[in-house]
Structure 1
Amino acid sequence: MDRISSENPAVETLRARVARHGARRKRIDLPEDSLPDGEVVRLVIDGTTYHARIEGGFADGPHVSGAYETPEMAREGSGPNRLQTWLEEVERPVGGSVLLDVIEPDFAYGLREPGEEAVYEAVEKPNESLAEIARNLEDS
């Protein structure tokens, strides 16, 4: 399988911020118009691929508040939240930066600490008709 480094010029890196999400949780605030609102995308954290739903609203800009094992868990916000675990482990404070690498636009992203390098598996966004079939199977 092909691999690509976060330092590769083909990988766009966006700066995102850690923000408060409720009383005790944190989230990642994303740059405006950087990710597809409401979509579930792949999110690689420390070499493991999770699934995250891009959230947002009138008062909030785009953000991610969780990373989960499956797309269905990401849509429901159920199961262990690996994003919260990672933010605790790396001790990123509210207001601190994290880096979001665009592995495949609108499909796969990587999250890392500033100054750290990551290597990702090169992935391609599936054919739209195949993605629709997969979504229909998940919903049934």
Structure 2
Amino acid sequence: MADRIPSDHASVHTERAEVARSGGTRRPCLRLPSALDLEQGSFVTLVVDGEARHAEVQGDSTGLLIRGAYDLKSEARDPGRAENRLVEWLRNVGREPGDPVEIDEIEAGERYGVRLPGERAFYRDTSGPGGSLQGIAESLDGGSDDDGDDPFDLD
């Protein structure tokens, strides 16, 4: 299994997000496309400039957005005086309200990455072996002939 997944890999779904301002703050945030099917109040991992950060999906009158990305999940829950790595990155790359960024869906509902349009990014592959322990055991056993009658039937 690969250690890194490129942003143009077939398993990575990319959407266009927009830098915006929301509410009375002067800080930029990301306006999320509805195609990502995220829920307000959920927490996601957001890879910003190659580093995994924590972000809360928030909402306003026009849709969903991410106002910040933080080193720790506790900081995403209560940003207070924590360093906002998303705002820091947006300023470093010269993105302002109205400018596009790419948002890569690495693991739906869980893990996303942001990058400049036209740039290629690499993401750490954090996927496990896939499937349940029972599924792994069955593959080692050569399959299952479970007929559904007895959950303890091993024959």
The TM tier, using the shorter chain, reads 0.7 to 0.9
The equivalent residue for 2:136 is none
Q: CA RMSD in A?
A: 1.8
The equivalent residue for 2:98 is 95
* Residue 8 of structure 2 is aligned to residue 11 of structure 1: no
Find runs of 4+ consecutive structure 1 residues off by over 3 angstroms.
Answer: none
Deviation, structure 1 residue 36: 2.7
Q: Distance in 2 between matches of 1:88 and 1:110?
A: 17
The equivalent residue for 1:133 is none
Q: Distance in 2 between matches of 1:77 and 1:64?
A: 12
Deviation, structure 1 residue 33: 5.3
> Which of 56, 75, 78 is the matching residue for 1:76?
78
State the AA in 2 paired with 1:74.
A
- The DSSP-based 3-state class of the residue aligned with 1:25 is coil
TM normalised by structure 2 equals 0.75
Deviation, structure 1 residue 32: 1.7
Q: Distance in 2 between matches of 1:33 and 1:9?
A: 17
Q: Determine what percentage of the aligned residue pairs are the same residue.
A: 42
Deviation, structure 1 residue 75: 1.2
State the AA in 1 paired with 2:78.
E
Map Cα deviations across residues 87-138 of structure 1 (whole Å, 9 max, x no partner): 100001210100000111111100000011000011238xxxxxxxxxxxxx
* Residue 82 of structure 2 is aligned to residue 105 of structure 1: no
Q: Distance in 2 between matches of 1:123 and 1:106?
A: 14
Unpaired runs of 5+ residues, structure 1, are 126-140
Whichever of the two has the greater Rg, that structure is 2
Deviation, structure 1 residue 70: 0.9
Unpaired runs of 5+ residues, structure 2, are 129-155
TM normalised by structure 1 equals 0.83
Q: Distance in 2 between matches of 1:33 and 1:98?
A: 15
> Which of 19, 26, 29 is the matching residue for 1:27?
29
